[in-house]
């Protein structure tokens, strides 16, 4: 691997389609990040097999083993990330709401992708929210993670038109195609230092 590439840990809970787009991008010799670990909170999900296909190390920290103690689960996850010398954490379909303890520990070093043009349509069912609101444009955002859900400063966004006859599935497919391009671009911005979090805002350059 090229010197100076940031070691990235990708957290998943399922098939890991965004993880695959990141792993493909990281194969380029000039890409500033290496996908060093894929970690799931659910055993045996498809994304783990897909990661192994790229030769990426994998791990599982089953959240169910910790009951309702979210922080204990996160401490175990944090330990795996530390042992694997992870520099940046990327959330890719990771279906756990993180506590302030974990978010603060990785502040400025953890990013997430959300299927809307934030600050519009936080939370779940974003495509349904967009259709019900009657917006002309929808899309996706990559942002730094902060304790408040889906409220972190945006790094990059991609837009898609909302077309006549769209339903949730059609709109979701169009947004997902953009996610697969946007996430590698945003990770490259952060890993290279061209985008960083300072004082609650994204600083560029």
- Considering only CA atoms, give the Rg of the chain: 17
Q: Please give the Cα distance from 27 to 183 (Å, whole number).
A: 15
Q: Which of 63, 114, 127, 180 is catalytic?
A: 114
Q: Please give the Cα distance from 143 to 202 (Å, whole number).
A: 9
114 catalytically annotated: yes
Residues 164-173: contacts with CB within 8 Å, 24+ apart?
A: 166/131, 167/131, 168/125, 168/127, 168/128, 168/131, 171/127, 171/130, 171/131, 171/138, 172/115, 172/127
Q: Please give the Cα distance from 31 to 47 (Å, whole number).
A: 22
CA distances from 174 to 13, 48, 93, 202 (A): 22, 25, 17, 27
Q: Please give the Cα distance from 93 to 52 (Å, whole number).
A: 18
Helix H or strand E segment including 104: helix 100-105
The residues that are catalytic are 114
């Amino acid at each position: 691997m090229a010197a100076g590439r940031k070691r990235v840990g990708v957290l998943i809970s399922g098939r890991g389609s965004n993880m695959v787009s990141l792993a493909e991008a990281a194969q380029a010799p000039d890409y500033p990040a290496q996908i060093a670990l894929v970690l799931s909170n659910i055993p045996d999900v498809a994304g783990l097999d897909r990661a192994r296909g790229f030769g990426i190390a994998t791990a599982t920290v089953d959240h169910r083993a910790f009951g309702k103690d979210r922080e204990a689960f996160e401490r175990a996850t944090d330990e795996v990330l530390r042992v694997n010398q992870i520099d940046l954490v990327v959330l890719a379909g990771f279906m756990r709401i993180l506590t302030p303890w974990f978010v603060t520990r990785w502040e400025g070093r953890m990013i997430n992708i959300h299927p809307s043009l934030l600050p519009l349509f936080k939370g779940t069912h974003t495509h349904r929210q967009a259709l019900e609101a009657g917006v002309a444009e929808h899309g996706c955002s990559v942002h730094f993670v902060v304790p408040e859900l889906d409220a972190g400063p945006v790094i990059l966004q991609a837009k898609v038109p909302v077309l006549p006859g769209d339903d949730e599935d059609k709109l979701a497919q169009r947004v997902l195609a953009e996610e697969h391009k946007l996430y590698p671009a945003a990770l490259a911005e952060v890993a290279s230092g061209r985008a960083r979090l300072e004082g609650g805002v994204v600083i560029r350059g």
